[in-house]
Structure 1
Amino acid sequence: MCAAMRFPEAFPLRTLKAKPVIKAQTTFFSTYDLPKVVQTDQGSNFMSKVFAQVLKVLQIQHQTSSPYHPESQGALERFHQTSKSMLRKYCLDSGKCWDEGLPLLLFAIRETIQESLGFSPADFVFGHTVRGPLRLLKEKWLESPPTETNVLDYVCKFRERLFSACQAAQDNLANSQSKMKARYDKKAVLRSFAPGDKVLVLLPLSGSCLQARFSGPYVVDRKLNDTGYVIKTPDRRKKVCVCHVNMLKRYVTQDDSTAVSLTTPVSVCASASYLLSEDGLTDKNGCVPMAWLGNSAVLKDLDSFLAHLSQPQRADIVALIEANLLIFSDHPSRTSVLAHDIILQNEKPIKQHAYRVNPVKHRLMQQEVDYRGGLSD
């Protein structure tokens, strides 16, 4: 697709290896023009040596988008969505011969006026409105005698139409981009990282390219621009990768120097490891109630719980409880009798696939979460 004119082209291929893709791309270049820059994703067919050699011979600069960030090729991705929807509808009506109807679908897309430009892609390539079904219907209803035009006058008017269409398209595109930017900036938050910062990277899971989660922590090597960063990934096949800022999240370690109160608190303020103003992903600030044990309800009706004991035994237990009421509070407190350290092998999170839990176990887990006041979430 031409990014300036939104003029698309598609070829039915049996395989997406480098050589068939190069043949189709050469056909596109020979039909229209040799571009100066070609932008692709980082697929193996586009990153092959053969593809790079062909572009070098044709003196074409190759630019790649950020991995797992298709927004950098928004116009092309939108064309993919539109073409797939049209092909799905065509296959439901005509069967499996989708490749035969592909030229007709491309013709329909090319003659459609683009909202961002105000003109159809065919208007920029051919300089006039193509003779499509609507044009045929107009000619059938409004028959007009053919007019003779001088070749020189036609060429002059043709250039004037292209120049005026280009100016109008630039104005429409600027207005459309300003509206899109205004809508995007309502929720966008400016974030930046410095070299040496630890971050979590949104990467696909091994064995499942359609699922992704934050992995890491990794270290920022350097900053390319406002949105691109070079991240060191020593545990992956590529030791260094370029990531978009939307795929990064700051990694914050727990501060060991935080003082812990010895008194029994009514609630605990759970501090988040990242803030909404920092990456725009989530906000976990707020006070979470402590785990409730329900000891106060037992102490109010202590006689019914001790009814199976004799009177001397009951008196001893009541005296023991009254002497240590702090231990039998509803909120667990901190003890200074002993302490233990939890030693981890490394700071990397454990990667484990999500499995469906048995309904019986799920019910017990939910009771435990409710019992602990939601601190297990």
Structure 2
Amino acid sequence: MSKVTKELCRLFKISHLRTSVYHPQTDGLVERFNKTLKNMLKKVVDKDGRNWDFLLPYLMFAIREVPQASTGYSPFDLVYGRHPRGLLDIAKETWEGQTTPFKTVIEHVSMMQDRIAAVMPLVREHMEQAQEAQRRVYNRGAKMRSFNPGDKVLVLVPTAESKFLAKWQGPYEIAEKKSEVNYKVLQPGRRKTEQIYRPTPEVPIADTLSVAQRNEVKEFLRGNTDFFSEMPGLTTVVHHDIVVEPGVRINVKPYRIPEARREAVSAEIRKMLALGIIEESHSDWSSPIVLVPKPDGSIRFCNDFRKLNAVSRFDAYPMPRVDELIDQLGTARYITTLDLTKGYWQIPLTNRAREKTAFSTPDGSFQYTRMPFGLHGASASFQRLIDRLLKAHRRYAAAYLDDVVIHSPDWQTHLV
């Protein structure tokens, strides 16, 4: 920070805060203001949108003369101790023939100090009320999570393609707990092998519940944290098999991977190897990989199994009807939805099915040990697993693939 800015902060008694790396929640006001400013620019720019930078001073003045919801005063009022003279004020003075009284510099500074000193207690009171309201709203969906040194975690970090895009990477090991919310994480292979992060909140709770009900839900979640994990588990209830006619082999030439995407592919391979999703392969089967762009600009690692699907036996296991699921929920007053973590990856492949899922990358050949996405029998195998798990709970639970719904007519029954 420059000496001028430091001196300015000292004179105005401004506390300079540093935020956590890749944690925009601590810059919430700035992020929200940027969105507001962009929306205002969209309203006033010309059709070609090239003159937006010339309009910034006018928009900033318009924002600074409007009272802020948290403080109750405009930023201009708090900095200069007087109301700004905008275009409407000048027009009003002209119509009414008002004249601005002359004041010396000493008089002006003294008056400004008195006005600022008078409004600051009110500003603090308004800020405390606004911050308390914001805290209550934010904490509705927040959940305290705790880790111990040695635990494996996923970290949201920028991608290799752009610092403006981020994706979950890992798993990495917790090296040290710095505080209740900050952890030092070991990241081998990165420029900084150690970095401090804080956990992100999850498990949203509906605002329609009462305060007592939300507290009961939070207490229940705190007592069952082992069920909430970013790491996919592994079931022993079912296995997915791929059945083909004897003598059939599928070996499709790999698609070209752009140079800019190769590091992302390598990172995905390393992550799946660490999770045990894939293993090195010497199979004579091969299906190409496909990089599908996500809405946030990152990529999704997929496989093109169309040739394999064309020769494999179809699984006719029935899928649930959506209209029947809706009828089942018709009398429910309370509903909880569960989204399984990478549900397909929790089903192991049979030994003979593994070699059929092989694929080639610039880092070598690999094959899946867990059921991948893209196989036409995958949804049937997954639904078979879910139906077996929920068979004894059909009276109050239903599922469509990895979306599980628990429904109850009253609160006490639902919480139990």
Q: TM-score, normalised by structure 1?
A: 0.53
Alignment of 1:167-316 (within 5 A): 167-207=121-161, 209=163, 212-246=166-200, 276-277=221-222, 278=225
Task: Name the residue aligned to 1:259.
Answer: none
The answer on 1:97 being equivalent to 2:51 is yes
Which residue among 34, 48, 72 is the counterpart of 2:8? 34
Structure 1: distance between partners of 2:48 and 2:36:
18
Structure 1: distance between partners of 2:187 and 2:278:
17
Which residue among 44, 60, 63 is the counterpart of 1:106? 60
Structure 2: distance between partners of 1:69 and 1:146:
48
Structure 2: distance between partners of 1:161 and 1:279:
56
SS class of match (2:195): strand
Report how far residue 199 of structure 1 moved: 2.5
Report how far residue 99 of structure 1 moved: 2.1
Which residue among 24, 35, 39 is the counterpart of 1:85? 39
8 A Cα contact 2:153 2:171, kept in partner: yes
What runs of 5+ residues in structure 2 fail to find an aligned partner?
Answer: 204-219, 240-271, 280-290, 292-299, 311-373, 389-400, 403-416
The Cα offsets for residues 108-164 of structure 1, whole Å up to 9 and x where unpaired, read as 122122111111111122211111123224324544355455766554432221111
Fraction of identical pairs, as percent: 30
The Cα offsets for residues 207-226 of structure 1, whole Å up to 9 and x where unpaired, read as 35555443333222223333
Judged with a 3 Å threshold, the aligned counterparts in structure 2 of structure 1 residues 199 and 369 are, in CA distance, closer, same or farther, namely closer
8 A Cα contact 2:154 2:230, kept in partner: no
Task: Name the residue aligned to 1:73.
Answer: 27
The Cα offsets for residues 325-351 of structure 1, whole Å up to 9 and x where unpaired, read as xxxxxxxxxxxxxxxxxxx97556669
In structure 1, what residue type is equivalent to 2:9?
P
Task: Name the residue aligned to 1:354.
Answer: 301
8 A Cα contact 1:188 1:280, kept in partner: no
8 A Cα contact 2:93 2:99, kept in partner: no
In structure 2, what residue type is equivalent to 1:171?
E
The Cα offsets for residues 340-363 of structure 1, whole Å up to 9 and x where unpaired, read as xxxx97556669943376598665
Structure 1: distance between partners of 2:386 and 2:39:
47
Judged with a 3 Å threshold, the aligned counterparts in structure 2 of structure 1 residues 279 and 136 are, in CA distance, closer, same or farther, namely farther
Structure 2: distance between partners of 1:139 and 1:348:
75
Judged with a 3 Å threshold, the aligned counterparts in structure 2 of structure 1 residues 78 and 345 are, in CA distance, closer, same or farther, namely closer
The Cα offsets for residues 5-29 of structure 1, whole Å up to 9 and x where unpaired, read as xxxxxxxxxxxxxxxxx9xx78xx4
Which residue among 163, 172, 197 is the counterpart of 2:117? 163
8 A Cα contact 2:143 2:201, kept in partner: no
Which residue among 68, 92, 116 is the counterpart of 2:70? 116
SS class of match (2:196): strand
* Structure 1 range deviating more: 71-80 or 188-197: 188-197
Task: Name the residue aligned to 1:326.
Answer: none
Structure 2: distance between partners of 1:187 and 1:248:
7
Q: TM-score, normalised by structure 2?
A: 0.49
8 A Cα contact 1:189 1:279, kept in partner: no
8 A Cα contact 1:201 1:247, kept in partner: no
The Cα offsets for residues 33-83 of structure 1, whole Å up to 9 and x where unpaired, read as 53359xxxxxxxxxxxxxxxxxxxxxx998642222111122222222222
Structure 1: distance between partners of 2:230 and 2:195:
28
SS class of match (2:148): coil
In structure 2, what residue type is equivalent to 1:35?
C
8 A Cα contact 2:154 2:172, kept in partner: yes
The answer on 1:366 being equivalent to 2:368 is no
Task: Name the residue aligned to 2:207.
Answer: none
SS class of match (2:114): helix
The answer on 1:134 being equivalent to 2:88 is yes
8 A Cα contact 1:217 1:348, kept in partner: no
Judged with a 3 Å threshold, the aligned counterparts in structure 2 of structure 1 residues 281 and 123 are, in CA distance, closer, same or farther, namely farther
SS class of match (2:174): strand
In structure 2, what residue type is equivalent to 1:366?
S
Judged with a 3 Å threshold, the aligned counterparts in structure 2 of structure 1 residues 372 and 248 are, in CA distance, closer, same or farther, namely closer
